[in-house]
Amino acid sequence: MILPIQPPFLPMEALSVKNIPEGPNWQYEPKWDGFRCLAFRSGDEVMLQSKSGKSLSRYFPEVVAFLRDLKARMFVLDGEISVPAQDGVSFDHLLLRIHPAASRVKKLAAEHPAIFVVFDLLVDQSGKSLVRWPLSRRRLELEKFSKKYFKRESLFISPATRKVSVARRWFQQAGEGLDGVVAKRLDLPYQSAERTGMQKIKELRTVDCVVGGFRFAHKKKEVGSLLLGLYDDAGLLHHVGFTSSFGSIYRRDLTSKLKRLIHPPGFTGRAPGGPSRWSTERSGEWKPLKPKLVAEVQYDHFSEGRFRHGTKFLRWRPDKCPKQCSFDQVRKGLRTSLRLL
């Protein structure tokens, strides 16, 4: 039997909003930090599709294997692929899966196997398409499906609630592995590639960091980025990321200020790397600073001891002692979010 939905079939998207919507027509779920994935099965064939419509199958052979082991011979599931870690899930381990050789993927899959968190059922085990059904009915079918077929620790159904109080508690627990809250309209069908029936609410996270060094802008004598650090329990300053979101008019005065503070070593723990295949010798060069300046920055994700992306500079904190800028600030946000499953 041929699936009524064939890849590429783009998943339903979410609109970013500031506040959790309220009302009887909303279902709330944790927003998982991983790779969005549609899983297609027809007989012995299993295909994993990314958010953009590309195949993920070769990168996650263990997910393909445990989906093929299900007694259901036909289905389409919508969910998130994640890799468990000590404090939740590790996005870095996910990124390592992309583009390496098959032998490397096999090794990584054995060392850090992925899980699949499912939050929607688009085609059931009989081959019936459910995309035109409202979410309220699809969720009931997913719960029946998972109870009957999900028998292993690698496959979960995502928690869901209609209580906004529970959604707010999840939002307060946002940290490593849990990226916020998703709100979905119960009365709407599955809307491929649309954002009208789903909203996402992410936590605004800020942290105070020591400026342990800086890099010059490419082909300029002005500062291009500030190198950020946090202190560990032993008093060592570790490089955790960078910020470059300050105005060009301000850069000249900032450069002069930073030059007066140049003094090695800058970072006494983990230091920034040098040139790489993505950087030139000039862009890899950095200048160490005395640990005098504290900057408050906004960030999206902190994992594996660093900011995953660049941060947004908010303001200087002359009132903050550099030694107060410790990893405790980000540890407060860490949760073993897999306990929700």
| Mean pLDDT along residues 250-254 | 85
**267: domain CATH number?**
2.40.50.140
The answer to whether residue 262 is domain-embedded is yes
pLDDT reading at 333 higher than 50: no
The answer to whether residue 336 is domain-embedded is no
**In this structure, is the dihedral angle defined by the CA atoms of residues 181, 167, 129 and 142, taken in order, positive or negative?**
positive
Cα–Cα dist 53/42, whole Å: 18
pLDDT one-digit tens code per residue, 4-24: 999 999 999 999 898 999 999
pLDDT one-digit tens code per residue, 215-239: 998 777 899 999 999 999 999 999 9
The answer to whether residue 303 is domain-embedded is yes
Q: What is the mean pLDDT of the chain?
A: 89
State which of 179, 203, 227 marks the end of a domain: 203
Shared domain check, 234 and 102: no
- 134, 8 contact by CB (below 8 A): no
Shared domain check, 318 and 305: yes
- 186, 193 contact by CB (below 8 A): no
Q: What percent of the chain has pLDDT over 90?
A: 67
Shared domain check, 129 and 210: no
pLDDT reading at 323 higher than 90: yes
- Quickly state the pLDDT bin for 284 (edges 50, 70, 90): low
pLDDT reading at 280 higher than 60: no
Residue 289, beta-bridge partner list:
262
* Closest C-alpha to 41, from 71, 19, 11, 20: 71
Cα–Cα dist 192/161, whole Å: 23
State which of 156, 179, 203 marks the end of a domain: 203
Cα–Cα dist 240/299, whole Å: 11
pLDDT one-digit tens code per residue, 32-82: 888 999 999 999 999 999 998 999 999 999 999 999 999 999 999 999 999
Side chain identity at residue 236, one-letter code: L
The pLDDT value given to residue 253 = 86
pLDDT reading at 338 higher than 70: no
Q: What are phi and psi of 100, to 5 degrees?
A: -75, 170
Shared domain check, 245 and 128: no
The answer to whether residue 6 is domain-embedded is no
Shared domain check, 132 and 74: yes
Shared domain check, 238 and 177: no
Side chain identity at residue 157, one-letter code: I
pLDDT reading at 336 higher than 50: no
- How many domains, the chain? 2
Tokens of 207: 């942290």
* Closest C-alpha to 17, from 197, 177, 207, 166: 197
pLDDT one-digit tens code per residue, 93-130: 888 898 779 999 999 999 999 999 999 999 999 999 99
Structural domain of residue 317, as residue ranges? 205-330
Shared domain check, 170 and 210: no
The pLDDT value given to residue 95 = 84
CA distances from 89 to 80, 117, 306, 329 (A): 12, 12, 14, 19
- Cα 159 to its chain centre, rounded Å, is 18
- Quickly state the pLDDT bin for 249 (edges 50, 70, 90): low
Tokens of 97: 């899966």
128 as an active site residue: the answer is no
Q: What DSSP string runs through 84-98?
A: EETTEE-HHHHHHTS
Which of the following is catalytic: 31, 144, 147, 323? 31
The answer to whether residue 44 is domain-embedded is yes
pLDDT reading at 28 higher than 90: yes
pLDDT reading at 328 higher than 90: no
Torsion angle of C-alpha atoms 96, 299, 220, 239, degrees rounded to 10: -60
State which of 170, 203, 236 marks the end of a domain: 203
The pLDDT value given to residue 339 = 63
The answer to whether residue 94 is domain-embedded is yes
**Higher local confidence (pLDDT), 88 or 105:** 105
Side chain identity at residue 324, one-letter code: Q
Shared domain check, 213 and 102: no
The answer to whether residue 1 is domain-embedded is no
Task: Label the pairing between strands 115-123 and 155-157.
Answer: parallel
Shared domain check, 214 and 274: yes
Shared domain check, 241 and 142: no
pLDDT reading at 184 higher than 90: yes
**198: domain CATH number?**
3.30.470.30
Shared domain check, 228 and 111: no
The answer to whether residue 195 is domain-embedded is yes
Shared domain check, 275 and 236: yes
**Higher local confidence (pLDDT), 300 or 247:** 300
